Amino acid sequence: MKSRFRIGNGYDVHLLSPGLRLVLGGVDIPHTKGLVAHSDGDVAIHALCDALLGALSLGDIGHHFPDTSAEFKGIDSKILLERSYALILDKGYRLVNADITILLQKPKVAPYILKMRETLAQTLSKVNPDFPCAIDDISVKATTTEGAGFVGREEGVAVYATVLVEKICE
């Protein structure tokens, strides 16, 4: 790969169902509904993984961590993020910054956003401490859809993620 910089985008949706766990950006959020998934359903982390993989044309999360595999049943999505980022570092690139937008109607997630940014930055930094990731490198935003569509009807949560990665200088 010739480019010093590469960008990637990711998008994921999970359905909401009563009584399940709602975890976004590695943070548990108390709510009456949670995310239906083979893994822990952290749709924000899944979108981020896809953005990272996309930046280096490495396919998608479903290719690397198939939801038909028992290995990934109920898995903490932070582990998927660590493994995805390890692939990026192995290719000789590091994350410059990530920008994540969560679309959900309820509950309000503003009180949890700083914790999500901290959790994601810590998870990424763990992969290789030589390339730490700062909280300021991870943006998390949230919006409702003003009641429109499947997000507005509280049927699901959608997340967009964009990343920039940079070649590690030797």
Interaction site with Mg ion (CB under 5 A): 12, 46
CB-based closest residue to Mg ion: 46
What is the number of other CB atoms lying within 10 angstroms of the CB of residue 121? Answer: 19
User: What are the DSSP E strand ranges found in 77-125?
Assistant: 93-103
* Residue with smaller CB distance to Mg ion, 3 or 17: 17
- Minimum CB separation of residue 42 from Mg ion in Å reads 8
* Residue with smaller CB distance to Mg ion, 48 or 138: 48
CB 52 within 8 A of CB 165: yes
Distance between CA atoms of 24 and 158, rounded to whole angstroms? Answer: 11
- Minimum CB separation of residue 159 from Mg ion in Å reads 9
- Minimum CB separation of residue 43 from Mg ion in Å reads 6
* Residue with smaller CB distance to Mg ion, 31 or 46: 46
* Residue with smaller CB distance to Mg ion, 131 or 160: 160
- Minimum CB separation of residue 55 from Mg ion in Å reads 18
Distance between CA atoms of 21 and 42, rounded to whole angstroms? Answer: 10
Distance between CA atoms of 66 and 73, rounded to whole angstroms? Answer: 10
